[in-house]
Amino acid sequence: MFEQLKTLPQDPILGLMKTFREDPRSDKVDLGVGVYRDEAGETPIMAAVQAAQQRLLETETTKAYIGPAGAEGFNRLMGQLVLGAEHPALKEQRVNVVQTPGGCGALRMAAEFLKLCKPDATVWVSTPTWANHIPLLGGAGLTIREYPYLDPSSLSVNFDAMVDCLEQAEAGDVVLLHGCCHNPSGADLDADQWTAITDLIERKGLLPFIDIAYQGLGEGLDKDADGVRRLAERLPEVIIASSCSKNFGLYRERTGALMLISATAQQGLAATSQLLSAIRSHYSMPPSHGAAVVEMILDTPELMQQWQGELDAMCSRILELRAALSQALAPAGDFSFIERQRGMFSFLGVSPEQVKILREEFGIYMLDSSRINIAGMSTTTLPRVAEAIADVVGRTE
């Protein structure tokens, strides 16, 4: 049976990682892989996470299954983290949260749930969007349509085109939105645009599906969730996929949450029963460790304070790197969009040919789309990165 299978092409990001590892140059810089890195170029374990793990080591008494819904405390605290402890939907008991294997697990289980609700469901995703969105959602059998999002000339949100396109959506269609720190562009909706999108979704009877994977790395925990919270206040049904990979640094622990906001508490219970049935048939139970760490941090005031301080420092560092890169590139052209964008990622707006020159001549690695991980730089490597980009851009003027 296996002899009929053909080797698939390697994932572009994984291929880039392999090429980078094999590059012997000592001054090479990896701006492709989407993980946070500190000034030393490492992806560290946060001190609050270390402390929580130590407490778990001393107090954990069992490794028994935690059930398809995951840990109750984790689910409750994640709902409060994303929506805010005083959110009306939480007070009205219209929010049901389940723990998932990472943000990917949340996205895929949301897709399976949508398939149960409406087998012919159409999901609208932004152009561009995170590369795994379409495989995760489309792999469940959902129809995918795209709406324009990024203006390639200004590298800002093309909001008029986005709205014009979504006017074509039909009642019952699903709209996937990035809660903050849009991946891969870094271009986010502002407060007025969130309000306008909420108006459109409400008027047309659409279902909002929010992927918030970088809460706290844009402008802070509450500011980054502002659009999501406003939307959840207005609309009767919302789906939210949340990840702890970036803001807790728990990449390999695969820790995420899926939230269903329903029109009534009773509808929420019925919806969650369907979701749990889908989970049971896929992976049965989520892993425990990462969620236990997050629960320990969010439920322990001194750990919560320590974690938020670390997260705020990460956020500030990214903002400082954005400002520094934008200023360093100013003589080469208008790169001010880098400073206006938020989160770990930005498009440089250079061509694949220029990306290739940066990689081959300078050892500066990024995706062919010119998406860079801002947090992949340090204050030491940034001047060299800016000099290389300016050199390559200047050759084609």
Q: Exactly one of 51, 246, 257, 328 is catalytic; name it.
A: 246
Measured distance CA(113)–CA(276) in Å, rounded: 9
Measured distance CA(147)–CA(164) in Å, rounded: 9
Best CA proximity match to 100, nearest among 283, 270, 274, 225: 283
Respond yes or no: is residue 211 known to be catalytic: yes
Distances (CA, A) of 384 to 46, 312, 395: 28, 27, 17
In DSSP notation, 102-118 reads HHHHHHHHHHHHHHHH-
Instruction: Give the list of residues 6+ apart from residue 279 with CB closer than 8 angstroms, or none.
Output: 68, 69, 98, 100, 109
Q: Exactly one of 30, 173, 188, 211 is catalytic; name it.
A: 211
Q: Exactly one of 213, 257, 278, 292 is catalytic; name it.
A: 213
Q: Exactly one of 124, 130, 194, 307 is catalytic; name it.
A: 130
Pair of tokens at residue 367: 């995706």
Spell out where the chain has E strands: 29-30, 95-101, 122-127, 143-148, 150-151, 156-157, 174-178, 207-212, 238-243, 255-261, 345-347, 364-365, 371-373
Do 283 and 113 contact (CB within 8 A), yes or no? no
Do 49 and 297 contact (CB within 8 A), yes or no? yes
H/E element, 199 = helix 191-204
Distances (CA, A) of 388 to 238, 331, 381: 44, 13, 11
Respond yes or no: is residue 332 known to be catalytic: no
Best CA proximity match to 373, nearest among 133, 184, 127, 182: 184
Do 39 and 31 contact (CB within 8 A), yes or no? no
Q: Which residues are catalytic?
A: 130, 211, 213, 246
